[in-house]
Amino acid sequence: MMKAFKFRLYPTTTQAVQFNQHIGSCRFVYNWALDQKTKTYEQTGKSISRFDFNKKIPILKASSEWLGEVNSQSLQGMTKQVESAFTRFFREKKWIP
């Protein structure tokens, strides 16, 4: 038997700002990785792995100091999601979200 729990968060103002900053940074990295992967595939026919993206994240964080305020594990998770979206696309022939 599985149990489910629902929790409602009531963050303080500073916590809400941090949540929004974290989500925005993850969205930025996801869109950046998706753009890089799409352009590379169109130009060369080859794909960039998530490990190559993870190597570029410190460079990206250095160029955009607001990304430095978010932990790298969340940003690396976005590169993993981009890679799984491409894998699903080529395996199932569905559009990339």
Model confidence at 13, in pLDDT bands (50, 70, 90)? very high
DSSP helix/strand/coil, 1: coil
CA angle 28, 31, 26 (to 5 degrees): 35
Question: Is pLDDT of 92 > 80?
Answer: no
Residue 53 placed within a domain = yes
Residue 84 placed within a domain = yes
The domain of 71 spans 27-92
Per-residue pLDDT at 94: 60
Residue 68 placed within a domain = yes
Per-residue pLDDT at 32: 94
How many domains, the chain?
1
Residue 33 placed within a domain = yes
